[in-house]
Structure 1
Amino acid sequence: MTITYRVDVEDAHAHLFRVTLRVPRPAAEQRLSLPVWIPGSYLVREFARHLSDLKAEQGGQPVPLAQIDKATWLASCRGRGELTVTARVYAFDTSVRCAFLDAQRGFFNGTGLCLRVEGREAEPQRLQLGTLPRGWQAATAMRAVKVDAAGRGVYEAADYDELVDHPFELGSFWRGRFEAHGVPHEFVVAGALPDFDGERLLADARRICEAQIAFWHGARKPKAAPAPFERYVFLLNTCEDGHGGLEHRASTALLSARRNLPQRGRSETSDGYVELLGLISHEYFHTWNVKRLRPAEFASYDYTHENYTQLLWFFEGFTSYYDDLILRRCGLIDTPRYLKLLARTVSGVAATPGREVQSVAQASFDAWVKYYRSDENTPNATISYYAKGSLVALALDLTLRRDGSSLDEVMRALWAASGGGPIAEADIAAALQRCGGRSYAKELAEWVHGRDELPLKGLLYSAGVEWQAQPATLAQRLGLRVSESALTGIKATHVLRGGAAEAAGVAAGDEILAVAGWRVRRLDEAQRLMTPGQGSEWLVARDQRVLTLAVTLPRDAALGAPVQLAADAKPGKAAQALREAWLGR
């Protein structure tokens, strides 16, 4: 008496999956619905828009299937005989959140394919991979019931939540395996070039996984450290351009530019590869911090509408803090490189006017309509709870370390106190007080719920890190963000609040043609044509009109100069000890 789903590749060229749902002993009026969002990505995505040709039957006879809202259907059943529902699903979204299908590759999350049998969500659910193109494999972390060597066959989940928390990768892909503290891990890579160095990726991923398991549970040798999963699967799709990831309970779906993969015969660590390793570290850390430790509001997901929380600064921001930090601690990057990455975040937050408009707690709540629906005004209206949340974590960590504790201890204390379950902000405050020996209510009020600047300069100095202001680019001095290409020229993408570009009337979408009578094709070229404190004539194109604007170049960046961070070569003993405890030796 198990609810079952069968997924077939109906037409790869038309990007169509065929999904068949079988419901034993259905209700007389059986409601079926498709989620409107996927946990971990806070936007209503309306997956039902990709469904078509829904049909229902019992015993070979048609069953009336009425649509009652955008994502819900009502099957009027006759008796308790098995209900069969079929649907086509259009799949052509290359992101990690939806579904994709073409002649080379397939991918899906259950939230986009599997109708929820309302009232039966707690029952076991099975998924069978049916017709697949010749030579294709399948990879997933869902428990296999009966599958062949290529991974094709039947899988089972304990309930609907688990069913939709195991994405599937389909196609001809590279796969490799390793163990981290005795736990099996699998890495799947689609779209890689022939010179991809899989062994290096496995070795580096293993170091990340071992460091994180030890972070949360301690490294017990020779006995394996515990982990909240029996096996883990990385599903990495590589393409010409792209970056992203989505966490799941025992796997993650990753997207990266294929040029970021390591290459055989090349030992250097490129910035792109560091970006990929940071993504791997980020999503793996989520296995603990958001998939198990999670906002109290997410104790039970409601798939029909937005699920609000003010805690994304903790679950996304603190994860963003630890992703690169763990790369440093396990030796995949050195201290100068880590500080360079940290300085980029510090500078980016300082150059975002929205930090004075919304706190990270407010930004978390508004993620559904602001962060995930970004536009030309987003930097002026909100702040990234990823970026500023990571800096809140940094500030708390360095403060705790001066108090004789650390954020590491707080994270482990939260895990132990909650049993790896839902938590509220009061639990975070309690763990901070328990570990730090005092209340951190003032810091939480100012840094999380307030909009004041974080005291990072002094805290970093206490950890033996020098803070050096750097010269601002022309765009930073003007409060302007642009895109540049030979095809479209210089286009203003964002005009920042309070900057000189806004004061002069520059608007997002303007094409910058000339400055002081000279044609410019890169904004930096205009630096030589402008004098600080004086106005310059800009020629811009807007809606087929050519406008003349008077732009005055300020002497400094209105939103704060970019920052460079460097390890003090001769720190005091206390600062050196704090830095080594924080970053590792």
Structure 2
Amino acid sequence: MTGLCLGAISALMTSPAMGAPPPPPPPPSLPATVLAPAAPDVQTWPGTIALEVDATDLAHRLLKVSQRLPIAPAAQGGPLTLYYARFLPGAHGPYGDVARLAGLTVLAGDRRLPWQRDVTDPFAFHLNVPAGVSELQLAFQYTAPVKHGGDRISITREMLGVEWETVLLYPAGPAAAAIRVKPRLRLPVGWQPATALRSPAGQPARAGEDGWVDYAEVGLETLVDSPLFAGRYTKRIELDPPGTPHAVALNLLADEPGQLVATAAQLAAHKALVQQADKLFGHRPYRQYDFLLALSDEFGGIGLEHHESSENGLEADYFSDWDKAIRGRELLPHEYVHAWNGKFRRPADLWTPHYNTPMRNSLLWVYEGLTQYWGHVLAARSGLSTPEQARDRLAAVAADAQARSGRVWRSLQDTTNEATLGPGHTAEWEDWQRSSDYYDEGLLLWLDADTLIREKSGGKKSLDDFARSFFGRTPQQRADGSIQPLTYTFDELVTALNALQPHDWAGFWRERLNRTGTVAPLDGVSHAGWQLRWRTEESRFSAQERGWSGPEGDERPQDMAYSLGLRVTSDGKLDQVYWDSPAFQAGLAAGMQVLAVNERSYRPERLTAAVTANIDGKAPIQLLVKDGDHFFSARIDWRGGLRYPALERVSATPDRLDAIYKAK
């Protein structure tokens, strides 16, 4: 394919050989409202958008974009609206960042066309197409983040990520599935890509000696749902035997070659994840599946689902420090489950025709909550975590849910609106304000549902049966081979649960989702034969837990959440203070800095010793605290000692948790 040349477009606009440029056309007139989308069978976009992305400018973290946009005869000589994606699948809200688009130019042949941004929707660009113009040439840059501490770093000297919606303007009118795109990408020489996209021959594409990679023509919906990772050091590992239909691959990228090395046992656990998912759901709802896994201390951490792939970013020591990567090993199972729950079977109010139509998130407790549950379970069944680690993880989830004081005023159902709020809002008092609680609290509610089904059926049925009956449908392919999402409603979900195990499932969910009060949703833990208890030492899971990759996630704060009600970093900065906790009542808040404990400079071990010393109430904790330019003394008379969550077995009850975690 002849490439679109950014330099040629620029030269065409400035070449003296052209003589005096023609007078510019009048600015576009703004429509009263941005054009509404049409159904795919009502309106399609003629021809194919040719998209080229040059990703070689690593120094400036720039993606340079060229597009050729065909124009139908009926649209020539009239207004045209172009969209930049705003409402992003997986983010469930308005997380597109049009401010990162820069340098936009639109050409009709040798004429530069003026454009005008919509005054109420900054993601819409209006222009007039001159009569007789059958194609427009677009060029712009995507300015990726360059500094740590702000937005996620997506381009480093060793690897990069391309989310196609960030490097594309698309026409308003048709649905995304009705717009065809032919993508092409240029990588630094020697780099190789990983993506669910395939070459025109239907194989995983590789970059040529000049760095260019060509992909087959796809619908815009498929393109946006098929992001790309690329890097200097890569490895592709097939997780299925050769010749397996709908095969799954693990695509690794790392800062250094040695970080790609995995043991046979580690790879066996990743292969077992695929096998256990097969046994859970009974079929594969995709053409092929690619895990994209970046192991890096520079590339930003991420976990984002797609139908035939997932974007995953973890610490560089994922394999080399296996014992300390406990929570990170639930990431891949979670994103993989989304291939069934969220992408293939999708809540009806979360489906939209394109990326500038708002989504509605009423069923995120299914989309994310049930996925969180099965991701947790599949990690244990596959050996990515041990049963002990899984119980430690569940104890941490239960303890955090119990500490969510905000449930007295805000229901779990209301938290499904969190993503709709979009970027930029803060939650300094996260336990009181509540956040995306439908993830982990959803895990607890679906554990409750699973144990209830097991109990009422005498152990003959479980949520595994629901996985096969509700999510195990045979997928339908569109004419271009892509998978057609199958939507569902709350009523359809309830009907399917009742068909499996008769119960008042509508009442079950409505009561748990809409209630407020102080009671945490721990019924599933007790029905599983366990109970939440407190110990004076952290579990191995908690002690070794780390955040996702990136400098901002390297340090785990000292955890006094369930005693003093705070988390504090090694330099004394208060990372979190819990609402109405002893620390809160002492006047502490996140962002302050503890300088001294009982008149000695702050060290984690000194704070631990001080909490233990006051069990009898004779040695209240004295803290010297810095708040900006102010210093003050805070006194905390906490007598409960150190408190860390653990699950304790309830004797004479069935251990349903062991049955849930057991490999199939």
Same fold flag (TM > 0.5): yes
User: What residue in structure 2 maps to residue 221 of structure 1?
Assistant: none
* CA separation of 1:135 and 1:245: change in aligned 2, threshold 3 A: same
In the superposition, relative to structure 1, how do residues 150 and 131 fare at CA in structure 2: closer, same or farther (>3 Å)?
closer
Q: Does 1:542 align with 2:602?
A: no
Deviations 1:29-54 (A, max 9, x none): 22111112421114533421111111
Partner of 1:223: none
Q: Counterpart in 2 of 1:33?
A: 83
Does the alignment pair 1:381 with 2:433? yes
Deviations 1:483-524 (A, max 9, x none): 222xxx212232222212222222222212234434332232
Give the alignment of 1:564-579 within 5 angstroms.
564-566=646-648, 575=654, 578-579=656-657
Provide the rounded CA distance (Å) in 2 between the counterparts of 1:216 and 1:372.
37
Match of 1:340 among 377, 381, 392: 392
Cα distance in 2 for partners of 1:455, 1:82 equals: 58
Aligned to 2:249: 186
Tell me which residue corresponds to 1:128.
Answer: 183
Query: 1:424 maps to which residue?
Result: 489
**1:228 maps onto 2:278 in alignment:** no
Residue 388 of structure 1 and its aligned partner are, at CA, apart by 0.6
Partner of 1:163: 223
Residue aligning to 2:141: 88
Give the aligned residue type for 1:252: S
CA distance in 2, matches of 1:371, 1:212: 33
The 1:499–1:150 alpha-carbon spacing in structure 2 relative to 1, beyond 3 Å, is same
Find the aligned partners of 1:345 and 1:302 in 2 and give their Cα distance: 35
Do the aligned residues in 2 keep the contact of 1:293 with 1:418 (CA within 8 Å)? Answer: no
Equivalent residues of 1:59, 1:81 under 8 A apart: no
- Cα contact 2:577–2:590 (8 A) shared by 1: yes
Give the structure 2 partner of residue 582 of structure 1: 660
Could you tell me how far apart the structure 1 residues matched to 2:421 and 2:610 are?
36
Does residue 259 of the first structure (1) align with residue 317 of the second (2)?
yes
TM-score, normalized by length of structure 1? 0.87
Of 268, 281, 287, 2:339 maps to 287
> RMSD across aligned C-alpha pairs, in angstroms?
3.0
Identify unmatched segments of 5+ residues in structure 1: 218-225, 264-268
Give the AA of the match of 1:353. Answer: S
Matched ranges for 1:427-466 at <5 A: 427-452=492-517, 453-454=519-520, 456=522, 459-465=524-530
Where 1:290 maps in the other structure, the secondary structure is coil
1:553 aligns with 2:638: yes
Report the equivalent of 1:325: 377
Select 2:610's aligned residue among 522, 526, 530: 526
1:90-239 superposed matches below 5 A: 90-92=143-145, 100-120=154-174, 121-145=176-200, 149-150=206-207, 152-156=212-216, 158-172=218-232, 173-179=234-240, 182-195=245-258, 196-198=260-262, 200=264, 201-217=266-282, 226-239=283-296
- Matches of residues 444-523 of structure 1 in structure 2 within 5 Å? 444-452=509-517, 453-454=519-520, 456=522, 459-465=524-530, 467-471=532-536, 475-476=560-561, 478-485=563-570, 489-522=571-604, 523=607
The 2-side partners of 1:538 and 1:331 are apart by 44
1:48 aligned residue (61, 81, 98) = 98
1:429 Cα deviation from its structure 2 partner: 1.9
Q: How many residues align?
A: 559
CA-CA distance at 1:391 after TM superposition: 0.4
Determine if contact 1:205/1:277 at 8 Å carries over to the other structure: no
* 2:544 equivalent in structure 1: none
Structure 1 residue 548: deviation in Å? 2.4
Distance in structure 2 (CA, Å) of the matches to 1:304 and 1:547: 50
> Superposition pairs for residues 48-87 of structure 1, below 5 Å?
48-68=98-118, 69-78=121-130, 79-87=132-140
Higher mean C-alpha deviation, range 78-87 or range 2-11: 2-11
Q: Greater strand percent: which structure?
A: 1
Deviation per residue, 1:373-394 (Å, 9 max, x gap): 4432122111521111100111
1:19 aligns with 2:101: no
Deviation at 1:467, TM superposition (A): 4.6
Aligned residue in 2 for 1:307: 359
Whether the aligned pair in 2 keeps the contact of 1:58 and 1:83 (CA below 8 Å) is: yes
Q: How has the CA–CA distance of structure 1 residues 462 and 395 changed in structure 2, closer, same or farther, with 3 Å as cutoff? A: closer
CA 178–441 in structure 1, closer or farther in 2 if over 3 Å, else same: closer
**Partners of 1:193 and 1:8 in 2: CA distance:** 24
1:205-241 per-position Cα deviation (integer Å, ceiling 9, x unaligned): 2210121122112xxxxxxxx4211211111112227
Determine the C-alpha separation between the residues in 2 that align with 1:555 and 1:115: 58
Change (3 A) 1:374 1:286: farther
The 8 Å contact of residues 49 and 180 in structure 2, kept in 1 or not, is answered as yes
Question: What's the secondary structure of 2:304's corresponding residue?
Answer: strand
Match status 1:240 vs 2:318: no
Q: What per-residue deviation string (whole Å, max 9, x for no partner) do you get for residues 357-410 of structure 1?
A: 322211112233389844321221115211111001111111111011322222
Judging changes above 3 Å, is the alpha-carbon distance between structure 1 residues 580 and 161 closer, same or farther for their aligned structure 2 residues? same
- The farther-off stretch of 151-160 and 374-383 is 151-160
Question: Over residues 246-293 of structure 1, what are the superposed CA-to-partner deviations in whole Å (9 max), with x where a residue is unaligned?
Answer: 001100010000112247xxxxx5130x43331111100011111122
SS in 2 for 1:433: helix
Alpha-carbon displacement from aligned partner over 1:154-193 (angstroms, at most 9, x marks no partner) = 3245422222111012232222223275432222222254
TM-score (norm 2): 0.77
Task: Report the 3-state secondary structure (helix = DSSP H, G, I; strand = E; otherwise coil) of the residue aligned with 1:53.
Answer: strand
Greater mean alpha carbon deviation, residues 104-113 or residues 534-543: 534-543
Secondary structure of 1:254's match? strand
1:414 to 457, 470, 492: 470
Amino-acid identity (%): 23
User: By how many angstroms is 1:10 displaced?
Assistant: 5.5
Residue 390 of structure 1, aligned match among 434, 443, 447: 443
CA contact (8 A) 1:261 1:276 kept: no
- Aligned partner of 1:220 in structure 2 is none
Report if the CA contact (8 A) 2:273-2:379 is conserved.
yes
Change (3 A) 1:477 1:327: closer
Residue type of the alignment partner of 2:490: E
Query: Is residue 2:315 matched to residue 1:250?
Result: no
Q: Distance in 2 between matches of 1:469 and 1:386?
A: 23
Per-residue deviation, 1:533: 4.9
| Counterparts in 2 of 1:359 and 1:554: CA distance versus 1, 3 Å | farther
Tell me: higher relative CO, structure 1 or 2? Use CA pairs within 8 A at least 6 residues apart.
Answer: 2
- 1:133 match: secondary structure: coil
TM superposition shift of 1:430: 1.8
Tell me the residue number matched to 1:401. 454
